[in-house]
Amino acid sequence: MNSNKLKISGIVLLVAFLAGSFGMSSHLHAQVTSGYLEVRGSDTMVNLGQTWAEEFMLRNPRAVIAVTGGGSGTGIAGMINNNLDIAQSSRAMRQSELDQAAANGVITYEFVVAQDGLAVSVHQDNPINQLTVAQLKEIFTGAVTHWSQVGWADGGRISVYSRQSNSGTYVFFNENIMDGDDWADGTMFLPGSSAINQAIALDKNSIGYYGVGYVSGVKALSVARDQDTPAYSPLVKEYVDKGLYPIARPLYFYINGTPDGLGLKYLQWVLGDEGQEIIGNIGFYSLTPAYVEQNEANFRAFGVE
């Protein structure tokens, strides 16, 4: 073969190689999940949501997921006003809120993504280890004001700490423990779970409630439904899974419209093995089979098996 034929053959091979490489590259890029999602809401869920987003983006470098807090109310308002893709919420959206969203052309889909054993914590030096739901109501509404009234003879006046009113945790605790009654005089309302945990660690007479994933350096009380039933700790997943801990609750994603594209991929990943494994690392709890079945039914509602 002469030199001209060799050159021509080499050029043909190079062109074929480049064409193949370009085609393969295009195919690979087509398989990479890309796009942008805005996620906003629950401060209880913000660390979990940010960890999910970071891990998903490591696996999908062309995806951008921005996660911010501000409280469940902030996320729900954003959903109602069609200003975000996913609202993280530590309480269920009310029917009136779903109706407001629908009036704005926003159809929301609800998914339970994790569980929380909502913790009621006290200072480490507090000898009280458990309380009933009724006792909690009395403390947080101000009917009981001194620790001596619930068994700590040397305790002082109870310092009550609560989340702020834009928090889904605030709403959940007020509705499920306090029956909607007013808060005790002098209750201190703080903006996040970490802030309450830190305040309790410094205040010997304190009590407060927040997501179990934030309990650190304080005592999480066991809680009994009433004086005739056992008290259970929020720190044991089995007690949360079985509904034995009285203040267990689901944590939600509300999706803006039928999930598709990046939103669908992200939701499926969060609810899959990798996403659920992360939950335990943050201190919350993965889903029970009943919640898994509920989510699967929601997927089927818009044609995803």
Which helix (H) or strand (E) segment holds residue 110: the answer is strand 108-117
Euclidean distance between CA atoms 233 and 247, whole angstroms: 10
Euclidean distance between CA atoms 30 and 38, whole angstroms: 22
Q: For residue range 6-59, what is the model confidence (pLDDT) as tens digits? A: 333 333 333 333 333 333 322 233 344 789 999 999 999 999 999 999 999 999
Region 122-133: mean pLDDT is 98
Q: For residue range 198-209, what is the model confidence (pLDDT) as tens digits? A: 999 999 999 999
Query: Do both 140 and 220 map to the same domain?
Result: yes
Is 190 contained in some domain?
Answer: yes
Choosing from 241, 272, 288, the residue where a domain stops is 241
Distance from chain centroid for Cα 41: 9
CATH no. for residue 262?
A: 3.40.190.10
**Which pLDDT does position 200 carry in this prediction?**
98
Contact predicate 173/89, CB 8 Å: no
Query: Do both 169 and 280 map to the same domain?
Result: no
Range of the domain at 64: 36-115+250-301
Is 2 contained in some domain?
Answer: no
**Which pLDDT does position 273 carry in this prediction?**
96
**Which pLDDT does position 118 carry in this prediction?**
97
Is 26 contained in some domain?
Answer: no
Query: Do both 136 and 222 map to the same domain?
Result: yes
Euclidean distance between CA atoms 74 and 38, whole angstroms: 13
User: If we measure between CA atoms, which residue out of 186, 226, 224 comes closest to residue 207?
Assistant: 186
> Which of the four pLDDT bands, split at 50, 70 and 90, describes residue 303?
confident
Contact predicate 257/107, CB 8 Å: yes
Query: Do both 223 and 254 map to the same domain?
Result: no
Contact predicate 60/34, CB 8 Å: yes
What is the 8-class DSSP label of residue 287? Answer: P
